[in-house]
Structure 1
């Protein structure tokens, strides 16, 4: 099944494949004809001492031309196969990367990033080896072996028929090797994925690792996984050392003994031509050399098939990012006012434990709704559902009265702006990070958005201004600067609904003032849903929802919640240090 799918990628190149096969057959014919010409020379000219100059020159020229033709034909057929292989792997990588972009966050919650990197890079590279090194070798050698058998039948039908017994033996040897090596290569690939996951995690969390002095522990964990990968590699080497070359060489020696015995017995009955013996032994040697090459490539083939299986598992993954519900296909409601309503929404990430239970609230157009509560209370889950990162299980979410599932992805992403606690910047420059390659946003609008969120001041002080290079994740910028750039990115789209996930949690006090001022500007005329741990940042919210274990336990504005003297009141007193009195 996996092999059939891999071959399916070659269908668009059927014409080039046909040409490559035609060249391969011609090249094989030229290769196979060489020993036969030598047989003719030995039996018809050398043994009877018939040295006809013209005939010998013609024979020699024909032999030379065959080898020159074989060289050119093999070059062009290999070039054709390799071009097709490179295109196929390019397309496969593009398909895998494109699939990853369309998968939902539920998939990434359970799949380590390093493992995905391994599939897109290492596994597709192994598949490339299958097309370039394995398939071309197998096709070329199988065609060559067929040509060798044809020539052997022309020399001696009985002996060639006896040699046909080799085919089922070789097939059984290959199948046995594939069966035994499959488990080993599966283990190798899985361990390599774990290694990549460990590397990715270590690099991403290097500051924490060094701050918490976790280097020794992580080195030990990595050493354990690395040793397991080493042991799997040793098993592979042992298997290859036993079943690849030695087994084929033993079979070759046994076959050689049989062939020589046949000719020796035959010599008692009739004259055996030396040229026939030479040609037959030459073909036998040429027959087993492709077998050795195929057995050697068989290990690569098995690794490639295992890698391809892992790649196709990813391509077959059905955890799609939620999109427009099929029931509303053809409709295209627009977000105009920005009214948000949750009606009895219940949600679970694992299908067993509910993280949200009967959540109901309304955010009227232009209002600010704040979500507060202890860690794990369900605040981020509400935002994840509202942004349609996950499918709703029970209940309903509506925007301007229309179900969330009725909206297209384009409308949702254009009208809903999201600012995360840890802003993500892409490699490029400041202008590109604000525009995000959206050509509808002009340079003037980029600058206007930066000014609106008070990011223009620090951008103008950069050596290259808006063309200042941005490294990976914006490491050269402070957390406050990264946050202001993410604000500018959001405001460049002029969204109708603003979603803030702890937008001020990781910035210093001085920068927080600028950010609070920017947030106040951003919220004007927009429906805003904000997660906040610091209650001082949301005291002016129109509605505050207090969550506890997935439920809304209190709701109201700041003064109303303090008057209740419930959970919000306790949280407020804790953050005030228990010194100030509520109210």
Structure 2
């Protein structure tokens, strides 16, 4: 992993950033050319002013003064056009590069294993994808190219000054060591402040994302005041970091102005003394010219520290972004097997699985599901039910054993093909802030409106969708907040049906709805499962009594296995759970 150490910019990291500039190399070349032009054109104006003052104003040459004024106006317009083009191109370059980089980051994040998201705050990823990337754009618009231009301008101005008058140049540059010292101190201080700001931005985003997402929990437990106080503390730290950076600026810029004034004072003193003693050596025009050079010289030197820190912060942002890109937690798509059809026969053979090290949540799990059969997984929370379907989709990788579909190890299948043939309906239905149609198709252009309507009719959802304003174009808002739990669940059934999977997984798909709604959507479930292999996870045993096979899990191990009637005869875990639901006060849990 590339890193920034001390005050030195890591060249390898900078090279990686510039990989995203390659498609826009013409813009980059034009930006560099304009940077050179600005550095060359800038010193011309002070010389023209000096010439105008000595040769025309002091000699009363009004026509010459008029001609030089026109020339300077043309030069000023030209310089403004170059500056405008330079600013536009460098910003275009930066925004174009981070557009591609942001796409690359998003594409990479969507392919990461769920294990990565288990330990990484979503707010942190948002910071990486948004604000950290913006700092990378500053590398081009306010950082590297501008630094090159400022350094080049300083070199050109000093060279012109030396050419014009060596003695005056030495006098002017006498306070320069003080400026270099002040700039170095400022650069180190502001870098630390900027890093603190970036850290606090990430903390702020993470806190906001988590607490806005979980706002219902906060309100259910009346935690608004406590969370408000915690947010105030985080926000105060962010404010303090910004104030600290502004404090450094408030000290540094006046110091630069004092040093600049010292340089001007020395110039005026020495120049006036020379004019009085040797009028032919130094003229009023020369003094004016050098005063303008001082202003032009100290401005880029003053801003170099700020620009260099902008560059460094861009590099810090790049380091964080590339750390995400370098995260080697992708599910390897090593398989190429893509049969014309998938029957849906599933086989778990001696499967051992752990999320962390060897704390196994599935232990020597073995079972088979014939094509078209329905298998139900039953067990207490933490028994390993959801883990079983997660490894079938290859969201997590097993440590031992193998999982087969149609007799072929799932690692030999093309990953996209495998997942496209396994549709999962979860208890907690996630709907995007979009239309019902787009939530069903997930923006798949191959799925037509006719197919969506047909699937909606099969699961009994067409009528309620048609009653909504706009029908299938109704926007369900974030997480489907404008729909009931049952309606959202029905939409998830339509989503599963239009993708026509070979294997259907229902993970507690009816546990979040009431009994009446459950009866209504049972018909939808029957249509979904018809002709497909199905794995059903459910606490309500009423929904799985017709399953071809019921597997009872406890702490990752199979304790019982059989049909509903067979398990009742065993008088074991399943029988006790059944009696608890149907005979404990007549209320099913």
Mark the CA change 1:168 to 1:494 in structure 2 (over 3 Å): closer, same or farther. Answer: farther
Cα distance in 1 for partners of 2:465, 2:447 equals: 18
1:400 Cα shift? 0.6
Q: Which residue of 2 aligns with 1:319?
A: 329
User: 1:205 pairs with 191, 209, 214, which one?
Assistant: 214
Aligned residue runs from structure 1 range 316-355, under 5 A: 316-320=326-330, 322-325=331-334, 328=335, 330-333=336-339, 336-355=342-361
User: 1:277 pairs with 249, 267, 287, which one?
Assistant: 287
Cα distance in 2 for partners of 1:415, 1:305 equals: 42
2:497 matches 1:478:
no
Output the aligned Cα RMSD: 2.7
Return the TM-score normalized by structure 2: 0.89
Cα distance in 1 for partners of 2:65, 2:585 equals: 112
Aligned residue runs from structure 1 range 115-264, under 5 A: 115-135=124-144, 137-160=146-169, 173-242=182-251, 244-256=252-264, 258-259=266-267, 263=271
1:25 Cα shift? 2.9
Q: What do residues 130-170 of structure 1 show as CA deviations (whole Å, max 9, x unaligned)?
A: 43344454344333222211221221235546767877775
Cα distance in 2 for partners of 1:194, 1:21 equals: 37
1:543/1:556 contact within 8 Å kept: yes
Secondary structure at 2:42's aligned position in 1?
A: helix
User: 2:103 pairs with 89, 94, 101, which one?
Assistant: 94
Cα distance in 1 for partners of 2:108, 2:184 equals: 33
Cα distance in 2 for partners of 1:174, 1:370 equals: 70
Cα distance in 2 for partners of 1:174, 1:190 equals: 24
1:535 Cα shift? 1.7
Mark the CA change 1:570 to 1:186 in structure 2 (over 3 Å): closer, same or farther. Answer: farther
Cα distance in 1 for partners of 2:489, 2:118 equals: 24
Q: Which residue of 2 aligns with 1:426?
A: 432
1:344 Cα shift? 1.6
1:470/1:476 contact within 8 Å kept: yes
Which deviates more, 542-551 or 251-260? 251-260
Q: Which residue of 2 aligns with 1:32?
A: 43
Which deviates more, 72-81 or 491-500? 72-81
Mark the CA change 1:68 to 1:448 in structure 2 (over 3 Å): closer, same or farther. Answer: closer
Cα distance in 2 for partners of 1:153, 1:467 equals: 72
User: 1:393 pairs with 365, 390, 399, which one?
Assistant: 399
User: 1:80 pairs with 89, 93, 100, which one?
Assistant: 89
Aligned residue runs from structure 1 range 503-582, under 5 A: 503-578=509-584
1:416/1:496 contact within 8 Å kept: yes
Cα distance in 1 for partners of 2:142, 2:160 equals: 27
1:334/1:411 contact within 8 Å kept: no
Aligned residue runs from structure 1 range 356-371, under 5 A: 356-371=362-377
2:94/2:136 contact within 8 Å kept: no
Mark the CA change 1:178 to 1:92 in structure 2 (over 3 Å): closer, same or farther. Answer: farther
2:171/2:266 contact within 8 Å kept: no
Return 5+ residue gaps in structure 2 as ranges: 1-9
1:558 Cα shift? 1.9
2:374/2:535 contact within 8 Å kept: yes
User: 2:29 pairs with 12, 18, 43, which one?
Assistant: 18
2:172/2:266 contact within 8 Å kept: no
Cα distance in 1 for partners of 2:413, 2:177 equals: 61
Mark the CA change 1:523 to 1:246 in structure 2 (over 3 Å): closer, same or farther. Answer: same
Q: Which residue of 1 aligns with 2:5?
A: none
Cα distance in 2 for partners of 1:249, 1:264 equals: 22
Mark the CA change 1:249 to 1:7 in structure 2 (over 3 Å): closer, same or farther. Answer: farther
1:335/1:400 contact within 8 Å kept: no
1:245/1:296 contact within 8 Å kept: no
Figure out how many residues of one structure are paired with residues of the other and give that number.
Answer: 573
1:225 Cα shift? 1.6
2:499 matches 1:493:
yes
1:334/1:407 contact within 8 Å kept: no
Q: What do residues 206-225 of structure 1 show as CA deviations (whole Å, max 9, x unaligned)?
A: 22221211112211221222
2:172/2:294 contact within 8 Å kept: no
1:352 Cα shift? 4.4
Q: Which residue of 1 aligns with 2:78?
A: 69
Q: What do residues 248-275 of structure 1 show as CA deviations (whole Å, max 9, x unaligned)?
A: 2343344445545655776798543332
1:498/1:528 contact within 8 Å kept: yes
Which deviates more, 22-31 or 99-108? 22-31
Return 5+ residue gaps in structure 1 as ranges: none
2:184/2:305 contact within 8 Å kept: no
Cα distance in 1 for partners of 2:235, 2:370 equals: 56
1:439 Cα shift? 2.6
Which deviates more, 286-295 or 172-181? 172-181
Secondary structure at 1:428's aligned position in 2?
A: coil
